Amino acid sequence: MTSDDRVDPFASLGQFKPKAVDAHSVADPAVIEKISADNGFPSREAQPVQPSPGKRARHKSAEPRVQLNIKVTQACHERFYTMAEERNVRLGDLLSAALDALVMVESSKTKT
């Protein structure tokens, strides 16, 4: 079958024409806004995003960083983030300090 043998699926749509636009068919944008406000329809315009006050940036380190993905319980996750916020440190720095503390505890156990 060649491309000349193909049936044009839009050939029968030639009878449809767009309607003529008259001045009475176009609604005033101010009237539309008033009707939507009166009936409780919110605007679709994006609202400015407010940064959340509880979170702070955890980046801009002198050393290169790599991603570490681990699964933890919800309680462990909340505890870890709370500890980082209380100490005002990055998550990676808190993990590094925790690992250092674990090494110190284990080395003190082996000396006794």
**pLDDT tens digits along 90-106:** 999 999 999 999 999 99
Q: What's the CA gap between 85 and 57, in Å, rounded?
A: 11
Helices 74-87 and 91-111: crossing angle, nearest 10°?
A: 100
> In the prediction, which pLDDT does 16 show?
83
* pLDDT category of residue 85 using cuts at 50, 70 and 90: very high
Reading the block at residue 49, the tokens are 């995003």
Contact call for residues 65 and 92 (beta carbons, < 8 A):
yes
Torsion of CA 85, 87, 93, 94, to 10 degrees: -80
The listed range with the strongest mean pLDDT (12-16, 25-29, 80-84) is: 80-84
Give the three-class secondary structure for 48.
Answer: coil
Q: Look at residues 63, 73, 49 and name the one whose alpha carbon lies nearest to residue 93.
A: 63
